[in-house]
Amino acid sequence: MQKYKNILNDRQDAASKLIDIMPIQKLKEEEWNIIAVSKGGLQLGSYIKERFKNPLDILFLEAIMAPNNSECEVARVSETEEIVLNESLIDAFEIQYDYIYGEAHRKHEEDILSYIYQYRKGRPFPSMKNQVVLLVDEGSETGTKFMTALKTVLHQQPKAVYIAVPVLPSDVLEVLEMFVDDIFFLYDIDDYVETDLYYKSLERLDDEVIEKILEENR
């Protein structure tokens, strides 16, 4: 882990380096939809598309935590109510599936819908049917965000799906590769800790920044 610490300056640096390994001409010609799976991923996506006219949006996701451990994520739900479960943790903690689906519904109603109205002014996530999709994030610790986004997008029958992520764990890379047409990444790390460690600066984004990015790309 130590040799990868602070290997990227910030999201703009990461985006610039991703562009160098991506098929940019293909991205432009096929009008890939750039879809962020987090707020940080949205800013990274905005840097990727600065010189292009590709659509940019965010897919809102919320984590579902174990009932007795607020730091242990056992599932994740998307704004279209697709759910990805961590079966091993659910079994280990003997969590009832009624709890998972109840929490998913609550998170959707209380959190995700508020994000949709705040950041997208009520506009629903657009259909990706027959579209080419590029899912982006600043990093991936467990792969759950990408898996939830993939389940959501693949359900809509896209033409192709790609992932762009600067850093991710090696085992997560192996899993994600099975579900997408290609993954564009800079570093796959065996002993991945947390995404912040691989950036010198990873600023917290306030609401105004998110709203501005989405407004500019509406």
User: Are residues 130 and 210 located together in one domain of the fold?
Assistant: yes
Give the pLDDT mean for 120-145.
96
Q: Give the chain's domain count.
A: 2
Give the pLDDT mean for 84-108.
95
User: Are residues 137 and 206 located together in one domain of the fold?
Assistant: yes
146-160 pLDDT, tens digit each:
999 999 999 999 999
> What does each C-alpha distance from 164 to 11, 14, 27, 51 come to in angstroms?
12, 10, 12, 17
User: Are residues 106 and 209 located together in one domain of the fold?
Assistant: no
- Percent of the chain residues past pLDDT 90, beyond the cut: 91
100-132 pLDDT, tens digit each:
999 999 999 999 999 999 999 999 999 999 999
Residue 2 confidence class, pLDDT cut points 50, 70, 90 = low
Q: Which two tokens stand for residue 94?
A: 């003997």
User: Are residues 66 and 151 located together in one domain of the fold?
Assistant: no
pLDDT at 1: 53
For residue 168, give the CATH number of its domain.
3.40.50.2020
User: Are residues 115 and 136 located together in one domain of the fold?
Assistant: no
pLDDT at 154: 97
User: Are residues 100 and 199 located together in one domain of the fold?
Assistant: no
Domain containing 76: what range? 62-119
**What pTM did the predictor assign?**
0.95
User: Are residues 70 and 15 located together in one domain of the fold?
Assistant: no
In this predicted structure, the answer to whether residue 138 has a pLDDT above a threshold of 80 is yes
User: Are residues 43 and 151 located together in one domain of the fold?
Assistant: yes
Tell me how far apart the alpha carbons of residues 207 and 137 are, in angstroms, rounded to a whole number: 18
User: Are residues 70 and 104 located together in one domain of the fold?
Assistant: yes
